[in-house]
Amino acid sequence: MIGLLASLLDGILVGAVYGLAAMGITLIWGVMDVINLTHGAMIVAGMFGVYLLAGTLGVPVYATLPIVLVGGFVAGVALYWIAVHRVIGQPPLMSLLSTFSVNLVLIGLGTAVWGTVLFNVQVSLPGLSLGRYTFPGTHLMAAALTGVIGGLLYLFLYRTRTGKAVRAVSGNREAAELVGIPTRRVLALSFGLGVALACVSGMLIATLFPFTVLSGDAYQLKSFVVTVLGGLGNPAGALAAGIALGLLEGLATPFMPVSWTLVIEFVLFVVVLVAFPGGVLGLRRARAH
């Protein structure tokens, strides 16, 4: 019984990080109606960021977070101008394919350089003991940092002028433009932020589990599940849904082989989309533009 409880609590900790990854997707979707298929590659970029900075250059593991955050932001803004800007406002097919092709290029480069072997990042943090069970320190730290970043994102979106501009563009791009908001810059900024969140979540995941260049796909799928659970374009919902998914994984792991988790998550994804088509309504709104 205590084992299951511990598994559930640990699921919450890991789920918070899934929520952080999903915030990246949901922010980009909410602002520009683009599904960012480079998300998985960017999570992997964050993983390798911490691996290289901490493993090769000897930067303390958690000190890499701001570096990864800034690096992700710069990469995201660059990506926006290269691959996304031209397809904004076109049918969803085009933005899907353009971000997908960037994903191919990045994953292709990654596999050419690192192959598909497992990597891991060594972190030594004392755990927290609860009876016979010990929560790994890395899980606690990752959840705490997720809370901090989530809070900062909230403050940015609701308390700063730029953040309010992001929300205005998300609400109605034309109207935002009419009142003098430089929408293009806001779009680039939001894309940068979304990618930065993906990179940071990748960095945190790398401290929890071993990873390969191809790990991004599984986490990307998880992010999409979380995003639709939490409602598209809703960062707070994404965090809550991430925790819910983590709970579900924690509940499922003692009872079934790990390889089934992805199937369950996918089924959940489709069921949620079909039964609660809030997301589908979102797409209709996009088409009506």
Partner 1 sequence: MTLLRRPFFWIIGAVILTFALAPTYGNNVELRESLLLAAVYITLASNLNMMLGYAGYVNFGGIVFFGLGGYFCVWLMSALGWPLVAATLAGGAAVSALALLFGLGILRLRGAYFALATVGVNQGVMAFVTNFGPWGGATGIYLSPALFKPLGGPAQALWTIYYLLVGVMGLSLYLSYTVKSSKFGLGLLAIGQNEDAASVLGVPAPRYKAAVYSLSAFLPAIAGGLYFFKGAFIQPPDAFDLQLSTEVIVIAMLGGQGTVTGPALGAYLYEELRGWLLTSPTFSNFQLVIAGGLLLAIVLFAPGGLMGLIYRRWPRLRRILE
Residues making contact with partner 1 (CB under 8 A): 35, 83, 86-87, 91-94, 96-98, 100-109, 111-112, 217, 221, 224, 228, 257, 259-260, 262-263, 266-267, 269-270, 273-274, 277, 279-280, 283-284, 287
Q: Which is nearer to partner 1, 33 or 50 (CB)?
A: 33
Our CB check for partner 1 shows the closer of 59 and 221 to be 221
Our CB check for partner 1 shows the closer of 155 and 280 to be 280
Closer residue to partner 1, CB minimum distance, 111 or 162: 111
Q: Which is nearer to partner 1, 81 or 158 (CB)?
A: 81
Nearer of residues 179 and 288 to partner 1, judged by Cβ: 288
Q: How far is the CB of 92 from partner 1 (least distance, A)?
A: 4
Q: What is the closest distance, in whole angstroms, from the C-beta atom of residue 254 to partner 1 in the complex?
A: 17
Q: What does the DSSP assignment read for the chain?
A: -HHHHHHHHHHHHHHHHHHHHHHHHHHHHHHH----TTHHHHHHHHHHHHIIIIIIS---GGGHHHHHHHHHHHHHHHHIIIIIGGGTTS-HHHHHHHHHHHHHHHHHHHHHHHTT--B--------EEETTEEE-HHHHHHHHHHHHHHHHHHHHHHHSHHHHHHHHHHH-HHHHHHTT--HHHHHHHHHHHHHHHHHHHHHHHHHHS-B-GGGHHHHHHHHHHHHHHH-TT-HHHHHHHHHHHHHHHHHHTTTS-GGGHHHHHHHHHHHHHHHSTHHHHHHHHHHH-
Shortest Å, Cβ 289 to partner 1: 12
Least distance from C-beta 116 to partner 1, angstroms? 11
State the nearest-atom distance from the C-beta of 127 to partner 1, in Å. 31
Output the smallest distance, CB 81 to partner 1, in A.
12
